[in-house]
Structure 1
Amino acid sequence: MMTNLFSTFDPSTNIFNMSFNWLSTLIGMSMIPYLYWIFPSRYNIVWNNILLTLHKEFNILLGENKHKGSTLLLISLFSIILFNNFIGLFPYIFTNTSHLIFTLSLSLPLWLSFMIYGWFNHTQHMFAHLVPQGTPSILMPFMVCIETISNMIRPGTLAVRLTANMIAGHLLLTLLGNTGPSLSTILVSIVIFVQIMLLLLESAVAIIQSYVFAVLSTLYSSEIN
């Protein structure tokens, strides 16, 4: 029995007091078709086309000063978030991306690496970025404070955006599912139809949020060059 609604996102699945919730990240590896690894199949071709499209788009966003292999990091980031978002849509599987500890562990090291690289290699550019062009002299101290704060909260906004979007849909599905036993047959049929529509919406959200996370990380990295 749930003690509260949010306990859905903190289940107590453990053996010998060892939490196994986070092993859900590895569950999907056993679900990948065997033929995907043997020869180019339809799954392989579709996934390669998606990755190639992302590679071209990230190259455009990074600009001419990009480093070789930088798109590999961003595509891997997109893939792992998309993978965990979709795994969380299955019943009785722990949704990793609904926890800040998981999303912050992705955004914070990435942001720190961008900042350390930028301040050590492009110091003047980083200082110049704190004051937008055309800012009056009297407003420069305030703009430096505002830009610094907005820069500092970037990993938090990345993490909270992903977590909040994943929690919102799951909460709505949980609320509708809990009302099922107390409804009539007609209303239950309506609820099931609404649940299916929401599940399709959550599938779209899983793709969009992983794409947004990767694109924003790309834009943040392009600012330091």
Structure 2
Amino acid sequence: MTENNENQPQHSDAESPKRGIRSFVLRQGHMTAAQQRAIDAMWPQFGVDYQTQTLDLNTLFNRPNPKVLEIGFGMGTATLEIAKRLPEKDFLAIDVHGPGVGNLLKLIEEEKVNNIRVMRHDAVEVVDNMLADNVLDGIHIFFPDPWHKKRHNKRRLIQVPFVAKLLPKLKPGGYIHLATDWEEYAVQMLEVLNSFENLKNTAEEYAPTPAYRPETKFEARGKRLGHGVWDLVFVHHE
């Protein structure tokens, strides 16, 4: 069981001299009329266009509260719930999947949530070109594509080069929270995060699921089938 399916972005950490790291592989999905309407209506207020200049997050949210980056939010239901549970934090949510972007904007409108901003772009380019160092209080990456076939493991997002890009953006004391339902990927995630001297695990190995992360329907279904879910929460220190 994995939360990523054909209706969600498939994350990848393929790296080659020609294209470098990418956070996704594009797959087509059907945009409903309601999702497209939400994009048309809500993007001016809650959408953020990609640009090759630094984004001032406090200006974007019009307040100096803690900032969390979420990479790959699927259909956005968990993102919205987390933002509701943590109203004191601001969330920059990035995905490339059009229906998911539309759905999250639709949920933002329905629930009148103001602490989320949405981007539809490759997260790697956003991290490289739009985020200053020491601006994030947290990073969330939940259920990235496990690329479970061994020959495809190199496409996984959570690898040393990508995490090395993320860490300078985290403030000292900031955290990175990963979750996966694929045990072998959880082992890899743990190895990757443990390889950074300036990351400290908040648990001996895998962390209890923090109260702010809701159980997804995919997760609940997987647990009923006897599948596990692994959370990792590491804190950045100097």
Bin of the TM-score, shorter chain as denominator length: under 0.3
- Structure 1 or 2: more strand by fraction: 2
Query: TM-score, normalising length from structure 1?
Result: 0.25
- Structure 1 or 2: more helix by fraction: 1
Larger RCO: 1 or 2 (CA < 8 Å, sep 6+)? 1
Query: TM-score, normalising length from structure 2?
Result: 0.24
